[in-house]
Amino acid sequence: MQTIAKLIFILAFIPAFLFGSGKKELIALIVNPISGGKKKEALVKKAVKELSRTYDVEVLYTEGPGHATTLAREALKRRAKIVVAVGGDGSVNEVSQALIGSEAALAILPAGSGNGLARHLGIPLDWSAASAVIAKGKAIPIDTVKINDLYYVGVAGVGFDADISWAFSHSVRRGFLSYLLLTLQEFPRYHPHTYELEIDGKKITREAFLIAFANSSQFGNGVQIAPNADAGDGFLDVVVLRPFSQMEGMRIAYRLFHGTLDEDEHTERIRCKKASIRNKRLRAHIDGEPMCFEDGIHLEIVPSSLNVIIPKQPEESVSAGVGLPPLLSPPASLNFLSLAASAPRTLTQNRGASLASYRFFRLFRYIPIAPPSA
């Protein structure tokens, strides 16, 4: 009888050994219902349908600021392997707060006003294509930045961009047009400030229109504040944009949309591991979300601390599946500039934004530069 019982026990596990348990890995979609001013119900249903072929999918909706972080932590407790931020850079930031240092991976379904990190990583803005990246892409570790007691993934800053973030947070209208109108409204009356900085132990003083602390390359909508920033190089890019005239502002805007701001005489780029601003009562933004720091800002790069799903390189097989590499063993080189160049893009990601910006600023006839080629 004991022999028969052992045989039955072994036979019961043969299907699992041969075909696997059949249980799908859990993936959590955390949806910001108001980001980008877009209604998302139909798109979420479509994404769930596509992802359900590979994963056990749960959908969670945020109810206010900070809620995405709480939902992401709860999803980790349920052993979610991938947590998807469905929203803009603010939503991506909140979800990332819970995932930093874990083996779970962040994925993005872009649905914000700017979608800066998604664009930087070459993630398509089309949800069907973005869902395919989640299902068939790869996970790699990228850097994050610790700012006082918080973390971020993309860009933080002080100065004009921070003021626009504060104004945008009180605006009823969302989207790029609202950003643009606020920028045009605030620019003529904005006054640059003088900042006391410390960069890797060296104290400097700069008068600046804005100072960006960039882990990734852009604010969003193709506006590249740090064209050479690489989210996997272990360095923070400090970009100081010195004061300029309104006439020069047209050239600066053109460079922002075309990835050449670092070539401008008003731009200073410093790569570092640590940075701080000693000014008190600073209005700032973190990944586009307005913040206020009473006792200055202290920043430090945290290398290879967040796993993120990105598109596979063209030469890689999309059928290989998603691997989650250990955080302590990142690839030897993570060049996100080449990744962004090789990843598929839609016109609304780069070229479309460039053409749109050119046509707008050309109305003022202040750009003595040839338009971007179609």
pLDDT in tens, 263-279: 999 999 999 999 999 99
The Cα–Cα gap between 287 and 289 comes to 6
Question: What is the distance between the alpha carbons of residues 350 and 112, in angstroms, rounded to a whole number?
Answer: 16
- Residue 119: band (very low, low, confident or very high) from pLDDT cuts 50, 70, 90: very high
Looking at the predicted structure, is the pLDDT value of residue 86 above 80? yes
Q: Would you call 328 helix, strand, or coil by DSSP?
A: coil
Range name among 105-119, 276-290, 345-359 with the lowest pLDDT average: 345-359
Topology of the domain covering 150-302+353-362:
Tumour Suppressor Smad4 (2.60.200)
- Per residue in 46-58, pLDDT (tens digit) is 899 989 998 999 9
- Report the range of poorest mean pLDDT among 95-109, 123-137, 268-282: 123-137
Residues 6+ apart with CB under 8 A from 241: 159, 208, 209, 210, 211, 212, 252, 261, 266, 267
Please answer whether residues 142 and 309 qualify as being in contact, where contact means their C-beta atoms are separated by less than 8 angstroms: no
Least confident of 86-95, 136-145, 327-336, 355-364: 327-336
| Residue 102 pLDDT | 96
Per-residue pLDDT band at 174 (split at 50, 70, 90): low
Residues of the chain with CATH 3.40.50.10330: 7-143+306-339
- Decide which of 1.10.10.10, 3.20.20.100, 3.40.50.10330, 3.30.365.10 is the CATH code for 7-143+306-339: 3.40.50.10330
Name the helix (H) or strand (E) containing 167.
Answer: helix 160-169
Where residue 354 falls among pLDDT bands split at 50, 70, 90?
A: very low
Q: Please report the pLDDT score of residue 137 as a whole number.
A: 92
Burial annotation 321-356 (CB, 10 A radius, 16+ → b, else e): ebebbebeebeeebebeebbeebebeebbbeebbbb
Pairing between β-strand 202-208 and β-strand 236-241 as defined by DSSP bridges? unpaired
Place of tokens 């626009």: 164
- Answer yes or no: are the C-beta atoms of 361 and 140 closer than 8 Å: no
- Quote the DSSP letter at residue 189: G
- Per-residue pLDDT band for 365 (boundaries 50, 70, 90) equals very low
SS3 148: coil
Position 261 pLDDT exceeds 50: yes
pLDDT of residue 179: 67
Highest mean pLDDT among 11-25, 179-193, 231-245, 328-342: 231-245
pTM of the predicted structure, to 2 decimals: 0.76
